[in-house]
Structure 1
Amino acid sequence: MKKNDAVAAPRLIRTGAGFPPSRRSEIDPMPEPRDDQGRSPERGRSISVDPKGQRSARSRFAPGTARLSALAASFLLVSCTGDLRERLDALLAPLRSDRAPGVAVMVIRDGAVVYSAGLGLADVERGIPIGPRTAFDIASVSKQFTAMLAMILRQEDRLDYDTPVARFLPDLSRFGETMTVRHLLTHTSGLPDYYDALARAGGPRGFVSNHDALAYLARQGDAVFPPGERFQYSDVGYEMLALVLEKAAGEPFGDLLRRRIFEPLGMRDTRLRDRPDVPVPNRARGYAPLGQGFAPSPDHPLDCLVGSGAVNTTLDDLDRCDQALAADRLVRRATLDDALRPMRLGDGTLSAYAFGWFLKRDLWHRRLEHPGSWLGYQAFIVRYPDDRFTVVLLANRSDVDLAVLADRIVRLYAGPFGTF
């Protein structure tokens, strides 16, 4: 890598309103796992904008601060050397604006936040800036919390990963006794997709719940492939997993997340938006490009499906979660190590996905990451657990390539020799 590569501004802004068909790490030579149609996994599908400015979910795969006069600058810069700070500021310069939605950026190194910045507006119409307690819909990054809850129940002997799903959800018995909780956690269940049909049908309350989804899935045909045969990223699997965890613990999924994870970790601004009327403090509005500006993303019937998404959280709260993972709080080290082992597929190869995280190698370093996107919101987290280094990116605009931005930030800190 040339010395100046890390300083040069990357192509962070994507043209058009849609999400990219694939996002390959610039560092890791291994491409992301894909489904049979070659799509890369993300919660949320591309957003199309028609001439009237109306958006629609086109394909769904894998979404109280003071007014400032010139916002968009960073709200906090701490413990970062002057040279690194200047180069990171230069990298983020294209995202600085007091008239557009933006991105929240956090870098954690050796247990301390060394860089934290808010770029752009949480609410364009009201001129509210992004701050450390601005809440974003983190879409598929929510899966880490679903997986964490499964690990906690496993530690308490209330859940066995190899229990057939049908024992918790008899309505899915048509898919056989071989589909287990582990298959749901690792996207190897073979469950068919139902998003397009459910989005058209809506729900009896104007939105689709997980129980609506279960009832629909129970009426569908056979599995797409035998459980464990191959990897196919599946929001459906994590939505059924949320119902399994409810059955195993005897509590609603939202209560479990709040009582077992959010409250113990002090994640006071984090909410599961399992109903449209759930209040989320300081929630950013999601936006998609429209003409020369941006338009707010509309509500969608699938906004409130949980397990696969619907967690709204902040930089501050994600810092608390990262510290907990590093310190073995809530989840013991042995439990986490077991959960992060790749699963062997039917053809003998190893899957690049474990419980809630994609597994990668960056030179000599173990790397965990997960993207998320949903109707104007994006999130991307990359963790180097052995190096105690984490980058968190949250956005309320759909035209920024967070994967590229995360890799450029990693390059800045790792240097030409990949040493953090």
Structure 2
Amino acid sequence: MNTRFACRLRRTPGSAASALCAGLLALFAAADVAAQSTELEVGRTLSGTLAAGDTARYTIEADENDFVLGEVDQVSVDVTARVLDPGGTQVGRFGGLGRGVERFGGRTSGAGIHTLELIVAGDDPKAGGRYEITLLRHEPVATDPEALADQIMSRFDGPHSPGGAVRVWRDGRTLFSKTYGMANLAYGLPFEEDTRTNIGSTSKQFTAFAIMLQAERGLLSLDDDIRKHIPELPEFDQTIRVKHLVTHTSGLREFLNLLRMTGRRLDHGDWIDRSELIDIVQRQPALQNEPGAEWNYNNTAFGLAAVIVERTSGQDFPVFMQENVFGPLGMTGTMVRPSTRHIVPNMSEGYTPGPDGYRQIGDLGGAVGAGAIYSTIGDLQTWAENYANPRVGTRESVDAMTTSFVLNDGEETGYGYGLSVGEQGGLKRVSHGGADVAHRSMFVYFPEINAGLTTQSNHAQFDSGVAYELAAAFFRDAMEEEDEAVAAAAGEFDPADYDPGDFDDFVGRYSLDAAPNFILTFTREDDTFYAQATDQQRLEIVPTSDSTFRLLAVEASVTFLRDPEGDVEGLTLHQNGDNHATRLGDDEAQGWEPTAEDLADFAGRFFSDELETFYSFTVEDGTLVLHQRRLDRAELEPGEEDQFSGGGLSFAFERDRNGQVIGFYLSNVRTRDVRFGRVR
């Protein structure tokens, strides 16, 4: 099937009753579609109106592995779009942009009638208005790598959308380089190959490289105590060495997560100064883990690494990088942005969808060392070529950066110095993604074939992980085929054949090892399976094997793990790395149901000396509610006894020997056990 053939779209008006199965995990059977329909060929536009409680349904009859792209012009109504496969399972959700053109699309996983449902976003009973929907493309998923790149990037193309760029290279030759969409919506500037983009945490490899340069010059050692270079840091019980900073194993608090606890609104552009990093560490009473014993992603550590480069070189970090790295390599489009107030010539603005259109949202403050580098797709190719044939730095330094760090217990972390280290298609892969407030980035390098690629975008909804899919397409000749037995087994697995009763082995609650108060709960309702994280909505998951499941609404998956006796002991959450969670016992899994008298114990006002911040708790309609001057009000859910979660935070309350609540320990995934004491 290709774009010369008509795609049959049929629209049927919904009702308030049919909207009852709206929500994230709506089901819709093709048999429910009314007989009357409107056919639409690719390129033809249909108009419609929606009121709160209505559902407009369109169906697309597609073959397996088709590519579909469409757009909804939200003329006077904010629309959320849901895509359901032929079995009625949600496979995509698009929304967030309240006005203007919202694109939807992707590939089909099976043949049959796919349904697109449109509903009014939000819960305003008076909301409603007019929209226009257009099917832009319907064609087989491309087998040509360049055409595949165009399909993947098409949702972020055109004059109405923040855009992006893709660059692919091999053996010093550029295989593909193309840009899409807009770099600046206010002035109508398109994304171009020399557009400078905030690469976010992709910057970390540059900071690690600067550390390696200073080590080569004898100005520091990776085994140095960091206090040798920053003596004003506190002396903890264990020594943090320079190597612990650039491998995420220091045990320090992560400053972005920590500042959020204070009520700083990073999503609102609150100011953060670099000087705060040292102050944050000075206030930390103890390390979160022994240095080298645990991998925990840490922006504080890379910020301190940049300070060490400055202290050992006598140069500001942006100047050091320009004179010692970017300049010598000819990376003329790359710079460190010293602060969010500094001008970056020819930059892409970062945008996030909002209720009244795209919003220009700015960059994170205090990010130097952890991020704050603007670069171009051409310069990132130049950077990769220095890995292949070092002109700056030594082969020994590059090899060390691209080798997985080993923890104190002998386990590998899958992360070197500023780079993730893994495998794809039988090839060693080193990479790093980046996400500032709205910019998204991915850098991927395959040293064994001297090849790589980068994807960049200034759209907050862009998934930079598509770089791995593109790598598989462009370098398929060098990648191994899947093991035939594994591939055959995968090919034979059909989610429809999965016995729902088998999922009962996995039903229960699992505590994330890195943040024990963060609980993943798995449930089954007939033949539908759900996962729900602490303080988050329930999401449908679908099986991809007898022990692996994919979440539909987010880029994540889980693998359930069994002990030698065959009992399920935990799981691995695959999202921004691999995170182990331990299954809670039956007593723990039952949870805690506090009475009104129990809840009254926690009401009061608490203060953290470390954060210089007050939190207050009240009991409202049988629920414990968190209040903080700048954080949103949050209703807390009970977990284990004396533990609650809500607002993205976990609370473990502390009692004295008389049973009186005297404080609590506050955690999120990257910052743990910040103590608050009761003041009244």
Q: TM-score by structure 1 length?
A: 0.77
**Which amino acid letter does the alignment assign opposite residue 350 of structure 1?**
E
1:210 counterpart = 2:274: yes
**Which amino acid letter does the alignment assign opposite residue 86 of structure 1?**
A
Contact 1:105 1:391 in 2 (8 A): yes
1:395 counterpart = 2:457: yes
Q: Counterpart in 2 of 1:266? A: 330
CA distance in 2 between counterparts of 1:294 and 1:250 reads 42
Contact 2:246 2:417 in 1 (8 A): yes
1:101 counterpart = 2:162: yes
Q: Counterpart in 1 of 2:218? A: 157
After superposition, the CA RMSD in angstroms is 3.0
Q: Counterpart in 2 of 1:288? A: 352
For the pair shown, the structure with the greater C-alpha radius of gyration is 2
CA distance in 2 between counterparts of 1:168 and 1:178 reads 13
Residues 122-166 of structure 1: per-residue CA shift (max 9 Å, x gap): 011211000011111111011011011111111111120000011
Aligned-residue offset at 1:121: 0.2
Contact 1:14 1:401 in 2 (8 A): no
368, 373, 376: which one pairs with 1:306? 368
Query: Which secondary structure state, in structure 2, belongs to the residue aligned with residue 172 of structure 1?
Result: coil
Aligned pairs (5 A) from 1:167-178: 167-176=228-237, 178=239
Query: Which secondary structure state, in structure 2, belongs to the residue aligned with residue 288 of structure 1?
Result: strand
445, 459, 468: which one pairs with 1:407? 468
Aligned-residue offset at 1:109: 1.4
Q: Counterpart in 2 of 1:384? A: 446
Q: Counterpart in 2 of 1:350? A: 412
User: Number of matched residues?
Assistant: 352
Residues 162-188 of structure 1: per-residue CA shift (max 9 Å, x gap): 000111112223225621000001000
CA distance in 2 between counterparts of 1:91 and 1:139 reads 21
Higher relative contact order (CA 8 A, sep 6+): 1
Q: Counterpart in 1 of 2:310? A: 246
CA distance in 2 between counterparts of 1:5 and 1:172 reads 58
Q: Counterpart in 1 of 2:382? A: 320
Q: Counterpart in 2 of 1:166? A: 227
CA distance in 2 between counterparts of 1:16 and 1:258 reads 40
Q: 1:113 to 1:176 in 2, by over 3 A?
A: farther
Aligned-residue offset at 1:208: 2.6
Aligned-residue offset at 1:334: 1.8
Contact 1:166 1:177 in 2 (8 A): no
CA distance in 2 between counterparts of 1:262 and 1:181 reads 23
Q: Counterpart in 2 of 1:62? A: none
Identity within the alignment, %: 26
Query: Which secondary structure state, in structure 1, belongs to the residue aligned with residue 286 of structure 2?
Result: coil
Query: Which secondary structure state, in structure 1, belongs to the residue aligned with residue 323 of structure 2?
Result: helix
Aligned-residue offset at 1:314: 1.0
**Which amino acid letter does the alignment assign opposite residue 401 of structure 1?**
D
1:333 counterpart = 2:395: yes
CA distance in 2 between counterparts of 1:116 and 1:393 reads 10
Query: Which secondary structure state, in structure 1, belongs to the residue aligned with residue 453 of structure 2?
Result: strand
Q: Counterpart in 2 of 1:89? A: 150
Contact 2:197 2:376 in 1 (8 A): yes
Q: 1:276 to 1:416 in 2, by over 3 A?
A: closer
278, 289, 302: which one pairs with 2:342? 278
1:233 counterpart = 2:297: yes
Residues 295-345 of structure 1: per-residue CA shift (max 9 Å, x gap): 21145xx42421000111111221221222221111211221123222221
Residues 248-280 of structure 1: per-residue CA shift (max 9 Å, x gap): 222221211111111111122222111233221
Q: Comparing both structures, which one devotes a greater share of its residues to strand?
A: 2
Residues 1-30 of structure 1: per-residue CA shift (max 9 Å, x gap): xxx999857999974569xxxxxxxxxxxx
Q: Counterpart in 1 of 2:208? A: 147
**Which amino acid letter does the alignment assign opposite residue 317 of structure 1?**
D
CA distance in 1 between counterparts of 2:450 and 2:64 reads 24
CA distance in 1 between counterparts of 2:392 and 2:326 reads 11
Contact 2:197 2:457 in 1 (8 A): yes
Q: Counterpart in 2 of 1:125? A: 186
Aligned-residue offset at 1:419: 5.9
Which deviates more, 125-134 or 265-274? Answer: 265-274
CA distance in 1 between counterparts of 2:169 and 2:196 reads 19
Residues 224-269 of structure 1: per-residue CA shift (max 9 Å, x gap): 0110111011001101111111112222212111111111111222
Q: Counterpart in 1 of 2:15? A: none
**Which amino acid letter does the alignment assign opposite residue 106 of structure 1?**
R
Contact 1:105 1:394 in 2 (8 A): yes
Contact 2:169 2:452 in 1 (8 A): yes
Q: Counterpart in 2 of 1:224? A: 288
1:191 counterpart = 2:255: no
Q: 1:259 to 1:417 in 2, by over 3 A?
A: closer
Q: TM-score by structure 2 length?
A: 0.48
CA distance in 1 between counterparts of 2:215 and 2:96 reads 41
1:368 counterpart = 2:417: no
Query: Which secondary structure state, in structure 1, belongs to the residue aligned with residue 235 of structure 2?
Result: helix
Contact 1:367 1:382 in 2 (8 A): yes
- Structure 1: tracts of 5 or more residues without a match: 19-49, 52-81
Q: 1:16 to 1:370 in 2, by over 3 A?
A: farther
Residues 188-238 of structure 1: per-residue CA shift (max 9 Å, x gap): 000112324546469xxx833322220232122100011011101100110
**Which amino acid letter does the alignment assign opposite residue 137 of structure 1?**
N
Q: 1:382 to 1:6 in 2, by over 3 A?
A: farther
Contact 1:210 1:240 in 2 (8 A): no
Q: Comparing both structures, which one devotes a greater share of its residues to helix?
A: 1
Q: 1:215 to 1:83 in 2, by over 3 A?
A: closer
CA distance in 2 between counterparts of 1:188 and 1:235 reads 11
1:297 counterpart = 2:361: yes
Q: Counterpart in 2 of 1:116? A: 177
Aligned-residue offset at 1:91: 3.7
CA distance in 1 between counterparts of 2:452 and 2:320 reads 26
